[in-house]
Structure 1
Amino acid sequence: MTLIGFLHHRKDPQTVIKAYAYAVIAAAEGATMLYFSPNNVNVVAKSIRGYVYENGQWVERLSRYPDVIYNTGSPEKLAFSQSIINSLKKRHSFYHSFHR
């Protein structure tokens, strides 16, 4: 199954309205969306502690690295985690969506 990473600077997916919509669309297409923030990435273990939307709620999961990552967090707020983001970019397709 395809795993789509949804990278955001906020730790809680319930505070990001579009996270729910993306999770539902991913599921409808047969994929899983993992919501996470940079501080939940373990570069050494190549794992991420994030959230998936299951049965009407966000559930915390330890996961492998996603197949693709959608970076939708604020560049200014994610700047402190640039080394983690750069590490992810080396291994995965990485897409950005910044709104000001």
Structure 2
Amino acid sequence: MELTPRLQDIINIIKNKGDINVQDIALYLKVSPKTAKGYIRELVRLGYVTVDEGGNIKLLIKGEDPVEKISKIIEIHESEISLLRKQLEEMREEIQKMKKRYRS
């Protein structure tokens, strides 16, 4: 799932500043603290950030971009699928050869 531009902005702010509170995010985005809390709640629900008791926001995904991670997994699976297809085709050819030998 792709994040909205506003949520991406919040993620970038948190990446640049490290730990930050909701009030500061509201000031950066020039929105009300209530609106900023709504954005943060959405990011918490999606698993991108956590909020501690003091209202400080921390980024959960520090290193790798989740889209990049999923892309790598897909590439690995695609290569495995192509390898299995190749093996399947080789087995089909062997079966055809065996059938020809048996018929002769």
- State the TM-score, normalized to the length of structure 2: 0.27
Higher CA-based Rg = 2
User: Larger RCO: Structure 1 or Structure 2 (Cα < 8 Å, ≥ 6 residues apart)?
Assistant: 1
Of Structure 1 and Structure 2, the greater helix share is in 2
Of Structure 1 and Structure 2, the greater strand share is in 1
